[in-house]
Amino acid sequence: MKIALGQLSLHWEDKEANLKKVRTCLALLASRQVSLFLLPEMSLTGFSMHTDKTKEVHRETVQKVGELARQYQTAIGVGWVKDLGALCENHYSILAPEGELLDYAKLHPFRYAGEHQYFQGGTSLPVCICEDFVIGVQICYDLRFPEPFQKLSKEADLIVVPANWPAKRREHWQCLLKARAIENMSYIAGVNCAGWMDGQEYSGDSGLYAPDGAVLTPEVLPLDGCANEQILIYSLANDVCQYRNAFPVKEDRREDLYRIL
């Protein structure tokens, strides 16, 4: 399977400008037979808590990006904000030409930045199938909590982590992506934004990590924005079972014990 990570410099709270950028990326990828194109968290707005500007009742982002998935015949992962009334949810959907494969709501609002005042946490861990991979999602701050990754990795071969992760904590981002790959023996795809938004710098540092923690080498397509704005393309075979059979760490997990400690 070919996977592309869109490390984009997002236009702050401008859905139409970012949707135009997504179209440009898909046109660049059209000849490369990419099966799955992944975008950062809150893909068409950047990480904003101005929910009056970002929230959606009728899933407009899902509808528009779903049309692009059909037009370009590739699955697309996109982040958006769901209006629930008093609070919202931070969502990420994977949309294929044939329809929606997955819709996930971020489990852990980022209390440090006040996200919990505008967003409630999700309550489920959906997975989907794309070609020969079972895929799960965790969003940005979720990366700091290992338990859902262990739960997902019972089914998922690939866990996607879309983010708006700031440059000042880039070492945490890279370290935790690698750790989640190693401890779950799953592929981990971290896709972050790049450049500046709302006074915050984002360094990108997107990447695909193998089940042994190795950072895979992509084909890089530079874009016309900031220096770190680019698309990273990977060709991936599902060899998760081989990794796990060769080094069967998961067989030694004591989940019954963990629940009572």
The residues that are catalytic are: 41, 106, 140
For residues 220 and 138, what is the distance between their CA atoms, to the nearest angstrom? 24
Contact between residue 93 and residue 78 where contact means Cβ atoms under 8 Å apart: yes
- Partners of 95 in the β-ladder: 76, 100
CA angle 9, 119, 57 (to 5 degrees): 80
Strand pairing class (55-56; 75-83): parallel
192 burial via Cβ count (<10 Å: 0-12, 13-18, 19+):
buried
